[in-house]
Every structure is written in C-alpha cells, then in structure tokens.
Structure 1
C-alpha cells in the first residue's frame, strides 16, 4: 500500500503543479492530462505506472488518440528537458500492490520539440537522445501530436490509409526509403493482402508515371487492376527468347537426369551450347564468348551439334546423355505450351526490344509490367521468373555507367521462388533473388516480396527487407519468424499482429517515420485485383447457363487458351 500511496501522491502533485502552471490552459486544450509516471528505465524500453481512474476519465474524450491513451498499442508522451518523448504501450498488467494502478511496458519510438504556443509536439524525429528518470509524468498523445509524429514532412511519400486509432491522421510510406532498401508485404490468405499490394503499387504508379516496375503474378489477379496504367504479359504475348537463359537455367529446362548422370549431362550441354552460340554472327565481335552470354542461337543448331557429337562416339553406352538431351529438346520444341519461349520466331536478336517492353523503358505513362504466369507450364515458371529477375539485375549491373534507371521487381507468392530449402528444383531463381536482396540496392534494383508464408522464405531474405508490412498472420511460426526479423524497438508493436482486422497492417522499418498501425484506404473497384472470395450463399442460388459455361471452359481447357 505504501508504494500505491506514493504513486497517488505523485499523480496529485503533478496535477497540482499543472493547475498553477501558466501554460496549463494550453496543455489542457491539448489534453495533456497526467495519467501516470515512469517507474523504471532500461535502455530503449521502460515501465510506467498508470492511474486507471485517469484512463477512464479520458475514455470518453472526442479525440480517439486521447481516449485510447494507456491501452496496448496506443502512444503516450513525457517531457524530458524541452523535448517530448513518445513511446508505444506494449503490455499492461495490474499492480500487484494496488488494484487501482496498472503497470505498463513501453517502447520509445522518438522525440520532438515542444511548440511554445500550443505545447504540442513538432519537428518529430526517430530515436531518443535523452531518457526520462523515474517519476517523470506521462501524458496521452493528442490527434495533433499524431499528425506531426506520422508526417512525412518534405520527403516524397504515398498515403495508404489512416493511422490507428485516429480517424483522419494519414499514414504515409516514404517512397525512396521503401524502395531503396526493399520491402515485404506479409499476411494470411483472406486478410486483403492482394488488394493492399495493388493499393501500394497504384499509389507508386500515380506518383511516378515514368517509373519501371515488373510484377510476377502467379494467379492472374493483377492484370485487370492495372489495365489502364500498366502492360500485361502472359503466355500469349510475352515472347521471352529462350537464348536469354544462362547455362544454369538451360540445365533446369533441358537436363532431366539426377545424381552423377546429371553432372555428365550438364557438361555435355555446356560444350554444345557454347558451340551453338558461337555459330551466330553476333558472336563474331565478342572477345570472351561464354556459355552464359545472351547471344542468339538456333535450336536446330543445338540439336545438330548434339547429334554430331554423339556420332563421334564409338560405344553406344556413352551416347545416352546425348540421347536424353536431344529427346528433351525435341519434346520442348514440339510442345505448344512452351511456344511463348521456345518458338522458332524468337531466334532474332530482340534483346533490346524485349528489355524495353518488359522494363517499361520508356514507360509512356504505364510504369508497371504484369507478368501473368498462371497459364504457363508449372515446370517452367521458376525458370521464367529466374530469367526475368536475372535480366533486371544484369541490366542494372552493366548500365551502372549510364544514367540510372531504377527498377522495382515485385514477387507475389515469394515463398515459391525463395524457398528455405537449398535443394530441389528452382535453385536458379532462388539464387538470383537472394542476390538481389543482398546487392540489388547498390545498382538501383528494388525487391518487393509478397507472401502468406514468411516462415517458408530462405533464411535471411526477410531481414534484408528494410520495410515490413505485416497484416494478420494466423500461424504461430509465421508470427515468430516476422518478429525475429523486426528491429528491436518494433517487436513489441507487433504483438498486435494476431488481432489485426482485415485490411489492417503494422508497418515497421525504413519506409515509415516510426512503427505504425494502418487501416488501408478503400481501392476503387476498377483498380482491385481479381482475388475476391466467392460468395457461396449467393452464387449457389443462381441457376441456368451451366451448359454454355461447360462448353466454353472445355474449349479453353483443350486449346490451352484463356
């Protein structure tokens, strides 16, 4: 009881001092009502004691930020010298000694100056230069304070929603920091992740209509959303030349054997592929032609060289690797599903035209390319993504002496392409995306990862993302994985992840001034991805048209068309 009495005395003394303070009327207008005191300090966090009665008094305040003061996830402030320190409430627990008091753990997020006329926060910045001492008074943060705390000031930004718990304070992402150090959008299925991704990308496109964005769309969701301000490419119009593949990507397509036989097949393919590239006139002016050089070659030349090399062998047993490679090559050439990449029409040197088309150089007011892989054969999708990602990185690498043209690569379902396993298929795409995550920002390549299973991503990739946008995650393993990747001062803020509503998120990292909980804006219907859940109760009431639906579907199915 003695500790509780001392706490009540400190609250009473603070209120008495406020009543005689000449600036008290100004502070009261800002709802600077003492609700507690600091009880313990430890580095970037602290413990405070809150008066339940004071919190209940403020609960009916018309300012939602003030009304939420002291609750988990809310912000509080305290005066240290001439600066306001701002912190987020992480946990609450009843004081074991006095039931009328609450002990809260807080994380400091930054500090700002005190405006002389109003007493509110201004010139807010991240980080704390001077910590409070036990006994420092604690106040609620007002809506006007929140506007200053979350303001982007003079930095280029995009607004994506409103700051929780306010109704009008705008939440902004700092574009240069968001893209300059990569970002990840995480959330379980059904939380509004696709719509949130479309919203962020639309805001970026609106801000930078001459930008360069490439998005991998594995479900065909985003084509309609970006029909007016982007270009959509799929199996019917991508026209990705096969000769742009490097040696490793050729192996993933053409080598089907395993174990020791695979190594032998790869060695033979390397020799024959280099010889095929050397036959092109474009190779004549290249001093150091390698098996990875993006020089056009004829599939028929590769087949002929394999056949000729096989004819030089005396023993039939030694011809098996050549037979396997030749059979696989013939199979791909004959399969119409692979025609978007292995067509005889793609032999010409169209590298510059292809890069211009896919990278939006120039953008012409349509800065985003949607690469719809949903209609492509599943066994080749990893290679397609690998080629596109590698082309983006290599372009930035070899263009570093030119005027920089930064490119953003966005991967939906990123856990497919950067799996935690380092064995199995798809290792070429895993390697290049890991390299972009580690080195891309040096060359102006930004990476945006969208996934519902962050725990399935390769270790370390998530920590390379400077900004994490976390929606509700239902899986405990995913929650733990995301929290482990967060900056130390943000982890307590992420305790709210399991309780987020649909279309809400926590944003931490370089892309925001301070960690922030956001309710996303509504996106116009014509800008939304085609990812809405079916309304069974309505759709199962409708009758008629089934025969026509079946006929059209079977026709597209058989013709592998859409």
Structure 2
C-alpha cells in the first residue's frame, strides 16, 4: 500500500499510493476495502513481528498528487504465522518501532478476528468491530468494573439501549451479581422486568433514619447563610437526642448524628418543642419553628410517604440492604431504582443515601467474603455537577468519593450522561473505560478527548460522525481502542425510551376527555 515515511513516539506518518487504495476499495473483504482510510487498521513487518496501527488523518501530498500522507497511532503487535504470513498472538503496546521505508499492508478480516479476539478473561460480546461484519467486540468485565466506566452520548444516539445491552450481557454472565441502577426517567423497568428487581415510590420503603446528618440538613433545613448554620447546629443536637432514645443506641458504643439508628419523627419534633421552650437557649424561637414546620410538612405530604411514613421506624436496615443490593441475587442481579415519581427536591438526597449505603456497606464488610457492587448512575451530570454551590452537594461528594476510592473496597461506578462537560472535574478521568457514542456538542467532545488515552486520538476524531448505536470504546475494558456497531437488543429487553412519532400519534384522535379525566385524577392524587 505504501511506506513508513516518518516515525515519532506519539504519532508517525505513512506515504500511501492513492491508486493502490482505490484498487483495494473494491475488495470483497470489508477490512481490506477500508484499508488506509481514516479509522482503519494497517500492518507493517518489524523482524518476525507485525505491528498494527490505526489511521488517524489523511492529506494529499502537495508535491506528488499520486501519494497520500497519513498520520497513524500504533495499537500493538503480533507474531507472524510462518505458513500464511498472517498475524497471531496479538498484544497491546509496541516493543520495536519500524524504520522509515518499511512497507505497509492492509489487515484482513481473518487477522482482525485475531487482533480483537477475547482472551481467556471473563468477557461479554456487545457488537461487531468496525469495519468488519463478523469480528466480535468484547468487553473485559473485571477490568471494566474494577476501574469504573462511563457511557457518553447525545440524546437520540441509542444511549439507553446501549446501557441496557451492556448490563443485560453482564447479568447473563453473572446471574448472582449485585448491581444497583439509578433510573431518573423510569425507562429501565421495562428492560429488566424478567431479570431485575424494580423499586419505585410504591415499594422502595427507604427509611428516613438511614440519612446521615448532611442529608438530614438538605431535607429539613430551608434557610440560607448564617441562619442555615444555626438551624443545622440545633438539628444536630436534637437529632442525636432522638436517636439516643432507641434501645439500639444503648448497645452502640459511639453514637453520633450519622449513626443509622432508627428514631421517631414525633420524638424529633417533641425534642425541638422542648428545646424551644427552654429559657437558657442562645437564640430566639424562630429556628426551632422553621425546623418543626418543615418536618411536620414532610410528615403529612403523601408524596414523601415512600421515605417518611410512620411505618418505616422499625429496624429494617438488614432487609432493606438485602433487597436493594440483591444479597442474595436469586437470579435477579440488578435493582432498578426508579426515582422519576419522587418529588424533585428530594431526589438527589435519595440518590445520596443509596450511593452512601453502597460505599459504607463495602467499608464495613471489608473483613467479610467480598460481594462487590456496581452502582450505575443514569443522567450522572445531575448528581455530580461541576458546580460546587447550590443544593445536592451530599450526593456530589459521595459519588466523587466512590470515583476516587471505590475500587479499593469493591465498589464500581458506571456513569451514563449526555453532557460530560457538566460533570465535576476529574470524575471522568477516574473512569478506566470510556464508551463514547456520538456527541454533537464541541465542548463535550473536547472534554471526552481530554479524558481519553493518547493512543485513542484517531478514534476520537470520528465521534461526531458515528451512526446511531455505534461507539468508540477505549481504556481498561478492551484490549485496544475499538469502534463498535452495537448488537440489536431483543424488544422485550429494551428500555422504554423510544422517541414519539408525532405525525402518527397526531393522526390518532378520540377519547381526549377520558384521557384528561384520568390524567387530572392521577395528577391530583400524586399516584400512577
């Protein structure tokens, strides 16, 4: 096809024959037909090894229009089969670079199978490697989950279906696994109804007393500035007193405001009332009234009953962890936590409690047989925003901590987002595997490029040109960076996230009065 023109550590150049590329483009083998084009693979011989590289850019030689100058990134090397001259035993990284003048050849589909063939490590197959029709793309599950992963893509690129595909494959591989997924739009319940446990406002029954002090403040304290500090101090004192009333507190050596000890909300309001009546308190009654009013308001609001019902005061911590963390899984290794019907002002606190329970469980179970947990966060930019001000800071802190320290304790984080540029700085770089679908926004593309390893740059340039349900995968979960056309998922395993057909549904008319009546009724009763 051509020759090696220039060699450098980070990027090298080839001089390709335009006529030869045109000849290859008619080849029946799709890999050979693509040879030399942007995103394709080429090979060159060094000693008894074949080096494999990815073509990043192409430009016509100004001095000779029959030649094309191409930038390449080296992927790895393999041994040469004596009889056929083909590649086998492919491995990542390069031990010897070629010299200028080394001849360059196309890579066939048979060799692509060798390059991308999964080794004996546990893996799941999720699609076909571009540009082949048959080479299967594999994700190494232990490597991907051990160092966290991120799935990124603009709305409408098939992100939800791709997430469902990857999670289904993992569930099929490990039916006794432990996966917790935060679902903010109620999309994934349909996808995992046969092999997952579905929790929403009707059956989650999240006990309020599992919140730590910071989460209590987010829910109960409404004031700002200096007043907020004062209200939080009063709440800390009264919350500790309320927790200490439980008999469990007597057997607890070091009781703190963060200890997950059940308490009655009525006890908390009574203690606030008593403290307010004391003459030696260092402030007026207003902070006590603010807290008491907010607690009473939440207690009586039916929208909060999934968390603040009087029925949730019993010590159900063991049972709650067992059902949400799938301990044991009983063939349903994934919990879908549907937070779509929860009041928006408490959603981030619910996610914070669940994420912190995952992390705290892992810390306190260090001396036990390990049960690693995967926490998957859809719409991650909501919970780990780049802004360090405003509400929802508790969830931001715990997810950042899991990103930094989770793998030491067997907690894996999966982030799914359409706005990677809105994520807190540094979180994306903690993800060892990045699965990037099409991103339309320049700022998002730049953000992803900054987080990806150097060798994947050629692939990154094609992110805006990816088709729906195509992605670039690089990092720990794959042997080398790859572009993948993802498999089709069976209809019954897909999330409920398809776009509406306006023209079809606008043609459908009749029964509008009944639709409005039922909708208004559900709206008023805050039920489904």
Shorter-chain TM band: over 0.9
Is contact 1:224–1:526 with CA below 8 Å preserved after alignment? yes
Superposition map of 1:81-100 within 5 A: 81-100=47-66
Aligned to 2:73: 107
Shift of 1:44: 3.2
**1:312-354, Cα deviation, whole Å (9 max, x unpaired):** 1368961111111111111110111000000000000000000
Structure 1 residue 48 and structure 2 residue 10: aligned? no
1:140 and 1:100 map into 2 onto residues whose CA distance is 18
1:349 and 1:317 map into 2 onto residues whose CA distance is 35
2:118 and 2:282 map into 1 onto residues whose CA distance is 71
Structure 1 residue 378 and structure 2 residue 340: aligned? no
* Residue in structure 2 matching 1:276, options 236, 242, 245: 242
Shift of 1:288: 0.6
Superposition map of 1:8-157 within 5 A: 35-157=1-123
Shift of 1:117: 2.0
Moved more, 436-445 or 541-550: 541-550
Listed as ranges, the gaps of 5+ residues in structure 1 are: 1-34
TM-score (norm 2): 0.99
Aligned to 2:515: 549
1:472 and 1:521 map into 2 onto residues whose CA distance is 16
| RMSD of aligned alpha carbons | 0.9
**1:81-134, Cα deviation, whole Å (9 max, x unpaired):** 111100000000000110000000000011111111221111111111110110
> Helix, strand or coil: the match of 1:540?
helix
Structure 1 residue 230 and structure 2 residue 210: aligned? no
TM-score (norm 1): 0.93
Moved more, 308-317 or 259-268: 308-317
1:320 and 1:557 map into 2 onto residues whose CA distance is 34
2:197 and 2:280 map into 1 onto residues whose CA distance is 53
With over 3 angstroms needed to count, the CA separation of the structure-2 counterparts of 1:313 and 1:121, relative to structure 1, is farther
Is contact 1:83–1:114 with CA below 8 Å preserved after alignment? yes
Aligned to 1:392: 358
1:545 and 1:526 map into 2 onto residues whose CA distance is 28
Structure 1 residue 531 and structure 2 residue 493: aligned? no
Superposition map of 1:311-322 within 5 A: 311-313=277-279, 318-322=284-288
* Residue in structure 2 matching 1:206, options 166, 172, 194: 172
> Helix, strand or coil: the match of 2:197?
strand
> Helix, strand or coil: the match of 1:72?
coil
> Helix, strand or coil: the match of 1:211?
coil
2:338 and 2:72 map into 1 onto residues whose CA distance is 45
Structure 1 residue 182 and structure 2 residue 144: aligned? no
Listed as ranges, the gaps of 5+ residues in structure 2 are: none
With over 3 angstroms needed to count, the CA separation of the structure-2 counterparts of 1:315 and 1:245, relative to structure 1, is closer
Aligned to 2:218: 252
1:358 and 1:106 map into 2 onto residues whose CA distance is 47
1:372 and 1:148 map into 2 onto residues whose CA distance is 42
Structure 1 residue 240 and structure 2 residue 240: aligned? no
2:13 and 2:312 map into 1 onto residues whose CA distance is 66
2:106 and 2:445 map into 1 onto residues whose CA distance is 29
Aligned to 2:408: 442
Shift of 1:262: 0.4
Moved more, 316-325 or 206-215: 316-325
* Residue in structure 1 matching 2:450, options 484, 500, 524: 484
> Helix, strand or coil: the match of 2:50?
strand
Aligned to 2:304: 338
1:351 and 1:58 map into 2 onto residues whose CA distance is 65
Is contact 1:313–1:319 with CA below 8 Å preserved after alignment? no
Aligned to 1:9: none
1:553 and 1:174 map into 2 onto residues whose CA distance is 46
Structure 1 residue 464 and structure 2 residue 416: aligned? no
Aligned length: 528
Shift of 1:72: 0.3
Shift of 1:308: 0.8
Is contact 1:255–1:266 with CA below 8 Å preserved after alignment? yes
1:533 and 1:448 map into 2 onto residues whose CA distance is 24
Is contact 1:504–1:520 with CA below 8 Å preserved after alignment? yes
* Residue in structure 1 matching 2:462, options 483, 496, 503: 496
